[in-house]
Structure 1
């Protein structure tokens, strides 16, 4: 039975269906079915084959795991079942009504067709990227991921001179003409050169007298190739992006060139050829734009952070080489290591530096002056490049973190034997160490010995577990999200300290328990599941939660870059749809459940 008009209007009010053309909504309405479910009805149970996406019109649905523990309670305007549909149709949850409910049943085949045809639907149901690992190019990239949002505009009666001065001040090659009724036209530098400079038009005349009225435009759901083909066919360099008569963005030849030319490999190559930190800083300034492009191209979060981290690694190695050119050859072998997000290969658009130096035991007191100078050269250079000094002074410039290998072994032995709060903190940071440049053999024995000794010490392990529970997911009362209560980020979620950090901490504990050498969080979770430290179900849940939270964080930063803002980790949850908030909360519930499991000593979720 097809949907009624009321149900169709309800569906049209929900994202992502509100982004679909009217004719597509009519097709959906014809293929979907309304259904009523009495109290206690199981829509599907763990292990069932699911062939439908359920959308809640009214009532509540309880989602539980295979043990019966409640994971979430969904209300009107939420949907469920897409997890099973994107995992071969087999449910890993149970969905049961709490009270009578009215639902819309959307067939799996129809959902997959919508995902394939409409980018907003694809992004909505594939936020972790698991179903779409392929990297997008201009043939698949939607224009709304390519365009510059909030283009510079003026009114039709503004003077040509005022428009030209605005373009000059903003260093742009076009200005869009708008009025309350909507988009009117566009003026480019070529228009001003040809019509004012060459032909003598009066600069004080209204800009509307030289604009291209009703120019060619495209909607946000068009593809990058649509823009490229239009530019090539019509010999134009600017394409306004218009939706329902309203200007929402613009794509220029510069945008296309930047998208096609910019890559992590390009930045790595330019850094490797740089002659000083100032030249490198000009390259690293492009990292936010690269991040936005990588996210917009559909790359998975661990791919984006790995590519971003590769740039920091290259910058560090280049600075080490420049330091040796300046200071001369090192007196003894050394190894530069990164810790923190660089060590885990998880850097985003917001990163400081965390690093240290391990020296050969052949180092003498006079040799230390060389390594102090090398550390200062590299850390100062990284700061110039935008990798700011560590607030906690966890850097090789701190004499404590520039020591021979025997001293480092003593550090770890002491931290493991006496795990006081400082030792827990330092051990947590140092367990993320990763060699960057120098003699890597200096680290091999240290890592193996430390993991073995730490894993054997149950007291140290218990303290590490306790330390891992200090960062809690932002879960509030009544199925809400707990936001920051005061300060400049009031009413925002901290997607770093309350989002990814709790999972990073869990990954570190699992690596310790399993004596796993991986530093990357996702690699640790996968290795822990393979080693039996995590159960198959618990590992899958935590990986999914991590993917969603980390992807949300990157999408937030990418959007800030597109909006001309510096990226940060603070998300206003009111900008999320009901669906997105619900699933983000589900992810936080999984993290909280895993923390409780580790904290109780069980070590894994069954």
Structure 2
């Protein structure tokens, strides 16, 4: 099996099943002796074979020894880390690495579907399974010290994705990997800036990614879509540092190789860099006057995801947007009307219609169907207050809420995967041929099976558009 494909195998196949455990009410001294005797650095704390926490040698050093506390007076529960970060045994090794990286830990506990202890796996365990892996790339990103290094690593992401695509990795896992690696590059850049020129920067702000980046659905051609929110009561000096930081950050992102947003949706633009009260006021204006431009902006910001910063600011803004849209059929109808401007390129006989003129024989997959699926699912989710991030998560929540039939969800998911597959395939071919990747495919270059798959996906998109019109009764609302 190719090294990279190991990341898409179940964690349960590779975790260590023999796990040293203890109870929360065990004496801490006894737990420390057990770790010393067995030559291990951690114990999983269990209650009836269900992991509830973990205690490590680092906990002993930082929480007991460094503070001069007598360990004889403590139980394990006094210093254990809880709640515990866990992963299901059927989830992929890639997801384990993602959680390890996101939470800044070195090991993760593996559990069964009923949350019983199965085993444990570390980042080093997974790294030893591979010689050329996304995790190695993540480590290189974390160790990067310059903008030039990050630019090279951004190019390495593309090379890795090109390789993985040819090894049969499932498309939605590949898209998640792209998003994760792009996140790591942005986070490293922000850390470098805050460690250097902006070491005095206040922490009372949140850097947000929007649109496909906010949903974690980027492929190999993307520009920037980001914003920034900061606390209302910053001092003038703090605000000036926020402005300078935003300008420097976006300048560096462009240097890394991520092009600027043509529409200016970036944190260095004052429209997209506001205090919390300013965001609410601006959103009110966008909601009260549903012009095409305002509808687009509401759509972008409703996909927001915080990359770093103050979670309270992000959550309050998210809650405000959700409150304005939940049950707001009038505005959602305007958003749907904007979506329906992108006609599904099928003839009345059901045959695929390609473009004419400059892009003769080609098809823009984003306009042809991807946008209708991502935007339509977003509308359904927002109409009932579902706050999930990605399109697939939103589909799952809609099924759970009995707002979408499972077979309809399966059809739409299959159509979405097909369209993203064709887009990524075309982008990879463009990179291999030295061309700039975009959202287009050339229809005649698809084989018969691929053409049939594409046509079937577009038929499902057209049916979904018709469903949305019935759901929001477009003609009666607008």
Name the structure 1 match of 2:384: 514
Paired residue secondary structure (1:396)? coil
* Larger-gyration structure (1/2): 1
Name the structure 2 match of 1:402: 273
Name the structure 2 match of 1:470: 341
Q: Point out the structure with the larger strand share.
A: 1
Q: Is 1:274 aligned to residue 174 of structure 2?
A: no
**Pairwise CA distance, 1:534:** 1.9
Q: Is 1:504 aligned to residue 374 of structure 2?
A: yes
**Pairwise CA distance, 1:321:** 1.6
Tell me, in whole angstroms, the C-alpha distance in 2 between the residues paired with 1:582 and 1:446: 43
* Alignment equivalent of 2:399, drawn from 519, 529, 534: 529
Quote the RMSD (CA, aligned, Å). 2.5
Q: Is 1:297 aligned to residue 167 of structure 2?
A: yes
* Alignment equivalent of 2:188, drawn from 318, 331, 341: 318
Gaps of 5+ in 2: 8-129, 474-478
* Alignment equivalent of 1:361, drawn from 232, 251, 264: 232
Name the structure 2 match of 1:426: 297
**Pairwise CA distance, 1:308:** 0.9
**Pairwise CA distance, 1:539:** 1.6
* Alignment equivalent of 1:551, drawn from 421, 424, 427: 421
Relative to structure 1, the CA distance from residue 453 to residue 602 in structure 2 (aligned partners, 3 Å threshold; closer, same or farther) is: closer
Tell me, in whole angstroms, the C-alpha distance in 1 between the residues paired with 2:267 and 2:233: 19
Paired residue secondary structure (2:357)? coil
* Alignment equivalent of 1:383, drawn from 246, 249, 254: 254
Q: Do the aligned partners of 1:301 and 1:550 also contact (CA within 8 Å) in 2?
A: yes
Name the structure 1 match of 2:449: 579
Paired residue secondary structure (1:600)? helix
**Pairwise CA distance, 1:525:** 1.7
Tell me, in whole angstroms, the C-alpha distance in 2 between the residues paired with 1:437 and 1:388: 21
Residue range with higher mean Cα deviation, 294-303 or 334-343:
294-303
Q: Do the aligned partners of 2:333 and 2:472 also contact (CA within 8 Å) in 1?
A: no
**Pairwise CA distance, 1:383:** 1.0
Paired residue secondary structure (1:436)? strand
Relative to structure 1, the CA distance from residue 284 to residue 262 in structure 2 (aligned partners, 3 Å threshold; closer, same or farther) is: farther
**Pairwise CA distance, 1:520:** 0.9
* Alignment equivalent of 1:336, drawn from 202, 207, 211: 207
Tell me, in whole angstroms, the C-alpha distance in 2 between the residues paired with 1:281 and 1:296: 24
Tell me, in whole angstroms, the C-alpha distance in 2 between the residues paired with 1:486 and 1:477: 22
Tell me, in whole angstroms, the C-alpha distance in 2 between the residues paired with 1:550 and 1:501: 11
Tell me, in whole angstroms, the C-alpha distance in 2 between the residues paired with 1:307 and 1:266: 13
| TM-superposition CA deviations, 1:354-381 (whole Å, max 9, x none) | 1111101122344332112111221111
| TM-superposition CA deviations, 1:6-57 (whole Å, max 9, x none) | xxxxxxxxxxxxxxxxxxxxxxxxxxxxxxxxxxxxxxxxxxxxxxxxxxxx
Q: Do the aligned partners of 2:328 and 2:383 also contact (CA within 8 Å) in 1?
A: no
Q: Is 1:351 aligned to residue 222 of structure 2?
A: yes
Paired residue secondary structure (1:375)? helix
Gaps of 5+ in 1: 1-133, 138-259
Name the structure 2 match of 1:122: none
Relative to structure 1, the CA distance from residue 380 to residue 410 in structure 2 (aligned partners, 3 Å threshold; closer, same or farther) is: same
Q: Do the aligned partners of 1:335 and 1:442 also contact (CA within 8 Å) in 2?
A: yes
Q: Point out the structure with the larger helix share.
A: 2
Superposed, 1:256-271 pairs within 5 Å as: 261-271=131-141
Name the structure 2 match of 1:68: none
Name the structure 2 match of 1:588: 458
Q: Is 1:392 aligned to residue 263 of structure 2?
A: yes
**Pairwise CA distance, 1:437:** 0.9
Tell me, in whole angstroms, the C-alpha distance in 2 between the residues paired with 1:557 and 1:136: 24
Q: Do the aligned partners of 1:413 and 1:450 also contact (CA within 8 Å) in 2?
A: no
Paired residue secondary structure (2:308)? strand
Tell me, in whole angstroms, the C-alpha distance in 2 between the residues paired with 1:428 and 1:422: 10
Q: Do the aligned partners of 2:346 and 2:352 also contact (CA within 8 Å) in 1?
A: yes
**Pairwise CA distance, 1:287:** 2.1
Superposed, 1:209-288 pairs within 5 Å as: 261-288=131-158
Name the structure 2 match of 1:598: 468
Paired residue secondary structure (1:571)? strand
Relative to structure 1, the CA distance from residue 341 to residue 263 in structure 2 (aligned partners, 3 Å threshold; closer, same or farther) is: farther
| TM-superposition CA deviations, 1:200-244 (whole Å, max 9, x none) | xxxxxxxxxxxxxxxxxxxxxxxxxxxxxxxxxxxxxxxxxxxxx
Q: Do the aligned partners of 1:473 and 1:591 also contact (CA within 8 Å) in 2?
A: yes
Paired residue secondary structure (2:418)? helix
**Pairwise CA distance, 1:559:** 3.2
Paired residue secondary structure (2:326)? helix
**Pairwise CA distance, 1:509:** 0.7
**Pairwise CA distance, 1:547:** 1.4
**Pairwise CA distance, 1:331:** 3.4
Q: Is 1:438 aligned to residue 438 of structure 2?
A: no
**Pairwise CA distance, 1:564:** 4.5
Paired residue secondary structure (1:335)? strand
| TM-superposition CA deviations, 1:258-282 (whole Å, max 9, x none) | xx64433222222222122111001
Superposed, 1:81-96 pairs within 5 Å as: none
Tell me, in whole angstroms, the C-alpha distance in 1 between the residues paired with 2:158 and 2:373: 24
Q: Do the aligned partners of 1:339 and 1:354 also contact (CA within 8 Å) in 2?
A: yes
Superposed, 1:70-219 pairs within 5 Å as: 135=5
